[in-house]
Structure 1
Amino acid sequence: MAEVSYYTKEGLEKLKEELQQLKTTGRANIARAIAEARDKGDLSENAEYDAAKEAQGLHEGKIAQMQETLANARLLDESKLDTSKVLALSIVKIKNVKNGATMTYQLVSESEADMKSGKISVTSPIAKGLLGGKVGETVDIQVPAGKMQFEILDISR
């Protein structure tokens, strides 16, 4: 059974658009590649045809995976979320206790994560360590580089 994932409205719309694109344009491109390869002759010795059929299988697998993700997706109403502790979709300002650097992250689903825009996955080590934390608390988080301490400065939506 797949895990339930929580999305922002924008993230859910992006997922739906990507699935629609895969079902329409993506399938049409694959069908065209298969037809072109089929026109080149004997299918038993046609590497292009085999590659196109394999690409079709991978494409259909991706569509099935995205449909399952959408079936288990839940839209979070950010206005009803508790801002006293860190939850999914929280925007959290933290300070690295060791070097004093401050960072702001929004905790989002894996598919919405984008480090450049400050969105980290709720399944990442930092997000897991922050979940449930409150303003003023210091949390120890095990990251690949070792254990780090962060102070939670602010939580917003």
Structure 2
Amino acid sequence: MMISLKEKLKLSRLDGDSSENGDSIALEEEIGRLRVITNFLENRLLVMKNANVRQANKTITYKLLETGEEKTIRLTDNWESDPGQGEISVTSPIGEILIDGKVGNTYEIKTNQTNYKVKIISIKQG
């Protein structure tokens, strides 16, 4: 039988002052950590829902300003994304920026590995 964190915390408080109870302190910290993770995931889910409703399934051609290379991608929801095939999630760094992009505008894309600038050449819905 698994005991929930809430039940463990309740049991640990039976041992007296929670400020002196190591188990109680550790459980309260774990609950706080889980709340932060839950809030983060709820916010990401909201972003995904909003982005998917807004304009997934756009085909965007852009130019990498550093190299002049042109690339074409299709923005999709997370479940359809396949970066190797140019199908990019709307919640990816480039997807979040380009989903509301306009032809002719320049945008800076920031990822964990690099930052780069792109200029949108064309946008096609569908």
TM-score, normalising length: structure 2: 0.55
Q: Which residue of 2 aligns with 1:143?
A: 111
Aligned to 2:101: 133
One-letter identity of the residue aligned with 2:74: Q
Unpaired segments of 5 or more residues in structure 2?
1-41
Match of 1:109 among 69, 72, 77: 77
**How many residues end up aligned between the 2 structures?**
80
Q: Quick one: percent identity of the two aligned structures? A: 30
Distance 1:148 1:137 in 2: 14
Task: Give how far 1:101 is off.
Answer: 1.2
Give how far 1:117 is off.
2.3
* SS in structure 2 at match of 1:111: coil
User: Within 5 Å, which residues of 2 pair with 1:1-157?
Assistant: 3=46, 5=49, 87-157=55-125
Report 1 or 2 for greater relative contact order, CA contacts < 8 Å, sequence distance ≥ 6: 1
CA distance in 1, matches of 2:98, 2:62: 9
CA distance in 1, matches of 2:120, 2:98: 8
Q: Name the SS for the 2:110 alignment partner.
A: strand
Question: RMSD between aligned alpha carbons?
Answer: 2.3
Q: TM-score, normalised by structure 1?
A: 0.45
Q: Secondary structure at the match of 2:79?
A: helix
